[in-house]
Amino acid sequence: MIINIISKRYNPLLKRTEVRFYIDHDGATPKFMEVRDKLAAMLNADKNLLVVEKIVEETGMQRARGYAKLYDSEDMLRFIEREHILRKNGLIEEKEGEE
């Protein structure tokens, strides 16, 4: 899996850096956790402040587009991000009885 960052833009209102990227991969689309770990290493950032919002596979190619957000603080991350996005990134545990 190779990640190419297309753009990085700082959003001062929401206190986060918004990152758009491409993923070149073999086989199945990489999991959110794998992408988040590798992207955090590339950006030299704390992975607990990084949220991968979406990964969209391009039809007929071994390539996907993605969008991630790197927050300045955990308080802003918890205040702004929706619960299902946090769950998808492994930042909160699923409640018992949900599947």
pLDDT at 92 over 60: yes
The full set of domains in the chain, from first to last, is 2-88 (3.30.70.330)
Model pLDDT, residue 28? 87
* Joined tokens for residue 50: 């990084």
- The DSSP annotation for 23-92 comes to EE-SSSPPPHHHHHHHHHHHHT--GGGEEEEEEEEPTTSSEEEEEEEEES-HHHHHHHS-HHHHHHTTSS
Mean pLDDT, residues 4-29 taken together = 94
Give pTM, 2 decimals. 0.86
Q: Which amino acid is at 20?
A: R
CB of 51 within 8 A of CB of 88?
A: no
pLDDT at 59 over 90: no
pLDDT over 90, % of the chain? 78
